[in-house]
Amino acid sequence: MNMPRFWREKQGRYNLVGNRCTNCGTYYFPKRDICPKCHRKSIGKMEEVRFKGTGKVVSWTIVHDAHPDYKDMRPYIMAIIELEEGPRLTGQIVDCSLDEIHTGMRVRDTFRKLSEDGKDGVIFYGYKFRPVKE
Amino acid sequence: MRDVYVIGAGTTRFGELWERSFRDIGIEAGIKAINDSGITGNDIDALYIGNMSAGAFINQEHVGALIADYVGLAGSLHIPATRVEAAGASGALAFKEAYLSISSGMYDIVVVGGAEKMTDIGDEMANYITSMAIDQEWETVFGATYASLQAMMARAHMERYGTTREQLGMVSVINHRHGALNPDAQFQREIKLETVLKSGYVAEPLRVFDMAPLSDGAAALVLASGDVARKYTDRPVKVKAIGQASDTISLHDRREICTMDSTVYAAKRAYDMAGMGPEDIDVAEVYDSSTIAEIMAIEDLGFFPKGEGGKAVEDEKIALGGEIPINTSGGLKARGHPVGATGVAQIVEIVKQLRGDADRRQVKDAKIGLAHAVGGSGATAVVSILEAEI
Ligand SMILES: [Zn+2]
């Protein structure tokens, strides 16, 4: 991915910022201009939200065959995470041993390096998740 | 809406065809289908080409015109050529566009092709390009691969329905068994369950033998309106229905991850259009980009209740001679998966089955067949139903 394309979504990826439809209360990540449930009624009623960053693992995998800029991290855990507020997203789980990871695990976001420097010599940063010790 | 028939079908051999170019394979499939139908170049009104990513795989875009040129339809006849892209559903959607162009009354005879050349670059790069069908902004950038999303579907399916690692493996075993009977398949040898279970991990719990390979290959069909079809063949195959549906581009945004809603909706639309149900289907080609994808497909198409796909595979209900033979061609796993060609190749197999031309892998008395193609992790699904008309 090139720098301008990454940079446009920086706020969401750095700070876990999405929004909420104040008409129906549904949270969205990434941000949406219009609520798919309320359509026109949501215009001008989408409010920016910074998510708490806590959630649980919906499903997960340990990646062995990775794309070029991610090879050095192998094997790494990818997961679908459901945030406490409702939206789901895809992210890596770090600071977690490979036998510890499980469905339903509670996790919290953390700011990390996403990939090695690629073609453009730029390193991308953004959210990953780590286990919440209970 | 006019009736539309398939009057010709052909494919190249699938595999690592290092000595052959994108043009070579496109031409071979096209010529085979045209010869099979008995038409000549002058009869063709239009050409539709399914292709996912020639730009990334071989640095060549504009492949609709390119194929038209090299099949000899552009320079003198100036036949209109259109490329269609929807990742793994590209070929199936090219078929749909061709169908619509005839049923609308605009054209009488149309050629549909699908082609992909994936082995001119390294495996790592090819896998990266394949993953361009998933969400680059919100999946890939975080480290997700195409296989990793399939793996998360597999885990969810195993945890919810009790699908086992062995059941997943049997999908690959059966597809290889079928592929061994198909002279055009990339892999024509049977494998043991142990081979699947001992192959290296791609993304846990999925292993190398759970995933469709990288392939080169092309497939083509000739479609015609009802009155025209009878002039060329006494055994046309009727296109009964085509259903298509979309879902979110990111897997995590879906209603759930172990049902593919796009397949459910595409199937419902196709069954409604055909006035049929899953119980009427004699043979089907489904989209096994991974073993879990096939298990989900046979459930979401209605062949087996949700959650019982794994058991149906274990009981070999989907093998030749079983309740409903699935992927008699070998499927994506054994026939090969040149992405843009796959949707067309699936229909070529169904046409062979319905004409009784499938040789050693012939399903006895097959009258109605179904083809199912998926784009990305399930953001597009296309279901086509065909019927033998004797
Ligand atoms: Zn709303």
CATH code for position B81: 3.40.47.10
Question: Where does the pLDDT of residue A5 fall: very low under 50, low under 70, confident under 90, or very high at 90 and above?
Answer: confident
* Contact between chains at A1 and B136 (C-beta distance less than 8 A): yes
| pLDDT for the residue A124 | 87
Confidence of residue A119 (pLDDT cuts 50, 70, 90): low
In angstroms, how far is the first alpha carbon of chain A from the final one? 37
Exposed e or buried b for every residue in B34-60, given b needs 16+ CB within 10 A? bebbebeeebbbbbbbbbbbbebbbee
Rounded distance from Cα A5 to ligand 1 centre (Å): 28
Chain A residues with CB-CB distance to B142 below 8 A: 78, 90-92, 114, 126-128
On whether any CB of chain A is under 8 Å from the CB of B81, the answer is no
What would the pLDDT profile of B53-103 be if each residue is shown by its tens digit?
Answer: 999 999 999 999 999 999 999 999 999 999 999 999 999 999 999 999 999
φ, ψ at A63 (rounded to 5°):
-85, 125
Give the model confidence (pLDDT) of A23-53 as tens digits: 999 999 999 999 999 999 999 999 999 999 9
Co-location of B364 and B249 in the same domain: yes
Q: Indicate yes or no: pTM above 0.95.
A: yes
Provide, as residue numbers in chain A, all residues whose Cβ is less than 8 Å from the Cβ of B127. Answer: 65, 67
**Which domain covers residue B224, as residue numbers?**
4-122+215-237
Domains of chain A, by residue range, sit at 52-131
Examine the domain organization and report whether B171 and B108 are in the same domain.
no
Whether the pLDDT of residue B203 is over 70: the answer is yes
- A50 burial (CB, 10 Å; 0-12 / 13-18 / 19+) is exposed
State the angle between helix axes of B90-103 and B339-355 in degrees (0 to 180), rounded to the nearest 10: 60
Range of weakest confidence among A107-121, B16-30, B159-173: A107-121
The structural domain count of chain B equals 2
* Dihedral-angle region of residue A14 (phi above 0 means left; psi in -120 to 50 means alpha; beta otherwise): alpha
Q: Report percent pLDDT > 90 for chain B.
A: 99
Beta bridge partners of residue B46, listed in sequence order: B110
3-state SS, residue B314: helix
Residue A19 Cα to ligand 1 middle (Å): 11
Question: Confidence band (pLDDT; 50, 70, 90) for A118?
Answer: low
Are B220 and B172 part of one and the same domain? no
pLDDT at position A4 over 90? no
Query: How does pLDDT run across B284-323, given as a tens digit for each residue?
Result: 999 999 999 999 999 999 999 999 999 999 999 999 999 9
B117 in the same domain as B177: no
Residue with tokens 């979110």, as numbered in its chain: B248
The ipTM, to two decimals, is 0.96
pLDDT recorded at residue B87: 98
- B251 in contact with chain A, both atoms CB, cutoff 8 A: yes
Strand partners, A76: A63
Residue A70 clears pLDDT 70, i.e. is over it: yes
pLDDT in tens, B206-259: 999 999 999 999 999 999 999 999 999 989 999 999 999 999 999 999 999 999
Same domain assignment for residues B358 and B227: no
DSSP string, B327-372: -TT-HHHHH---HHHHHHHHHHHHHHHHHT--GGGPPTT--EEEEE
CA-to-CA distance for B97 and B110, rounded, in angstroms? Answer: 10
> How far, in Å, CA of B121 to CA of B140, rounded?
20
Residue A83 Cα to ligand 1 middle (Å):
18
Q: Which residues does A99 contact at the CB level (< 8 Å), separation at least 6?
A: none
Average pLDDT over residues B179-189: 98
Query: A10 falls in which pLDDT band (50, 70, 90)?
Result: confident
For the beta sheet containing B4-11, the strands, ordered from the edge strand earlier in sequence to the opposite edge, are B81-84, B46-50, B109-117, B216-225, B4-11, B237-246, B380-388, B368-375, B283-285
- Judged by a CB distance cut-off of 8 A, whether residue B138 touches chain A is yes
Closest CA to B353 of B178, B200, B211: B178
Q: How far away, in angstroms, is A21 Cα from ligand 1 center?
A: 5
Looking at domain A52-131, its CATH architecture is: Beta Barrel (2.40)
